[in-house]
Structure 1
Amino acid sequence: MYSKILVILLGIVVITCKDLNETDRATRAAFIQRLLNKRKSLEGRVKLLGGSNKFEGNVYIYHAGRWGAVCDDSWDDAAAHVVCGGLNMTGIATHGGQFGTAVEKYWMDDVVCEGDERSLSHCIFSGWGSSDCDENEAAGVICAEVTANAIPSNLKKKPTKRLHEVLDIGTSIRLVGGKSSAEGRVEIYHNSRWGSICPDGWTLYEASAVCRHLALGYAEQAHQTDYFGSSKIILSGIHCQGNETNLFMCKHQAIGDVACPGEVGHVAAVVCTRQLADLLLDTTAIQRSAHLQDVPMFQLQCAMEENCLSKSAYEIQKINPNWQFETRRLLRFTASSLNIGNAEFRPYLPKHLWQWHLCHMHYHSMEVFATFDILNGSGRRVAEGHKASFCLEDNTCMPGVEKKYSCKNYGDQGVSVNCSDIYQYNVDCQWVDVTDVEPGDYTFKVAVNPHARIAEQTYHNNAASCILRLTETYALVYDCKLLRP
């Protein structure tokens, strides 16, 4: 009888403890949810620091539970207008840490805005936390009131017409001021006079069209400079896809007497070459290797240091003392890039500027080698990933080609002609964190050399756009097509 009473009493204690544990868990879950909601409300907010008043300063953006700086690479007045637009003002971009050095880690780099985005996070950039900038490259703004009936000049007008639709018969282009016929400032002959091109938005895509136009091979460099001299600017807003056979196939904003923002005397210039690398992304490798994996966060700590998980992972890390035991769902896949060009693919930074990552024990020769995006039916990005180059090396080569580059013993990095650089699906950061993505059909886009930091013969084989079918239990990637990043 006493044993029965003891059993009953123990049962009551167990039930009571269980109820208390469930109550504690519910209370803690509610508290965590409130904190998450608060952090979510701050997501994408910007603030200005270092200025003499609240309408100027270096730009900081809130993401994944903390503030981060913005690098000035590609930073322009259109991006400044997006920042100041939240204050119903227009903006002027500042560069080089005009309001002091960056006091937080960089969250954004290579920001490209049209000027009419609702927030800075809606602009194109290299991926959260992906930056090769030092503390003296902080982007800033000076916000000013918009006068009545005035249209902010830093809103980018999208080019509409192609050049060949408006040009005179006999219009031609040339390179001037270079040490050889393969370099110089780009001049166009229009209305019986030669003039330069406004360099605003001038990239390797536009330079490639010039080099093909003049039968000079490929674009090795695209400059916005006065190094080759300057002349009156008569063409602005050139926009090319990078695969045009001549410059006149590209779109433009204005020709004739045009306004051009930027430094006085700076014009568009190019350096052409006949020897250049060309990476070809293997779509078959992506399709065959894509799969889901659930991984506890304690196994992802090195990857978290390189910002390879989605923002909710970092929010959980800050507010949940047992965050290590939470799991993330990863879409893993293999990415293989074959150099089919006639020159080696080499990092744009010299070796002494490569970044050493202690956790993974390797050098990063370029901060962002690849980007991975998942887009919904309306084209909005719902998940993203990025791949810093653990190393650029010759993993496999065509028959008869010897491997030259290897990262072993801190070796030199690059991809030889007819060799492939391969990131297997089991490598850290070779994934997209899809923990917060609902099941459904999406577009999955993988791109190498996504910002054309390294010149190539063509960029239209650097990216793959695929269909992604995501379910509760598996992921299927199929129908991949090559295109430009």
Structure 2
Amino acid sequence: SALHFNLFFFLTTFWSLIRLIGPNPCSGRVEIFYNGVWGTVCDDSWDLNDAAVACRQMGCGSAQSALPLAYFGAGTGQIWLDDVLCTGSERDLSQCTHNGFGINNCGHGEDAGAICAVDGEIRLIGPNVCSGRVEVLHNGVWGTVCDDSWDLNDAAVACRQKGCGSALSALPLAYFGAGTGQIWLDDVLCKGNESDLSQCTHNGYGINNCGHGEDAGVICAADGEIRLIGPDLCSGRVEVLHNGVWGTVCDNGWDINDAAVVCRQMGCGSALSAPPLAYFGAGTGQIWLSYLLCTGSESDLSQCTYDGYGINNCIHSEDAGVICAGEKVS
């Protein structure tokens, strides 16, 4: 009807609609609807404050990146906004300073993009990115998870979703401090093989009988963590965690100084030997590190010189190992 059209025209004139053209509704090229036409935003002065407003307007939570140079591909037609300058607190891009609709000196190779936190995403509020209070994003708002029935299966899913490897602990009773605001999930029941918490059984978003003194937490294996696959905790094939995936170390350049760092990192005392050639058996999958060069005084392998994660010309028959003295150091 004419009434509906006029209302739509009023809303889209005074409160511009936006969309993100990309891999999901919360990541993509930023486009504005103005005077009945979709158009792009130029990347001149485009920064995280501007992206924060776009993400808020999309109901997508915090801005992770503000991307220039048509990162998500070049648009076509109108370029509606240029020199956008937001404080980050605005609820709509049209409230930010800009040159005026359609006034720009840009081409579509300069189209601005944004990556926002996605609904169902989680974060860990704690001492590092792989340990902390579990928080879930829903409808653009972060909220906590109640510890009712919270166990290692649930923690395993949270750790997998964060790319943090295996779950070491599932912690109840606001171990990492009490959150505020929403408690989004309660009675979470995961099998442990789900890819994210939203796939697990729960009561429904916001349905709970909890207080923040019951906020759930996790401790996951952190990126850069190591393990030894062998006959005991202090001897074995060296494996490193990166991006949530365990991989081996190539024996190119592998020596007693490198082994000394591994033994120290494992709390296993001094290094007795640095056996090469898959002495403890060949691993599978990724070979993360090669040509490690440690002085022997580093506290963990990530502090040593190496070629870069995944850069190697090795096969698993060259997997490096260590034998440590086995003096468990606290």
TM bucket (normalised to shorter chain) is 0.3 to 0.5
State the TM-score, normalizing by the size of structure 1.
Answer: 0.23
Task: Return the TM-score normalized by structure 2.
Answer: 0.33
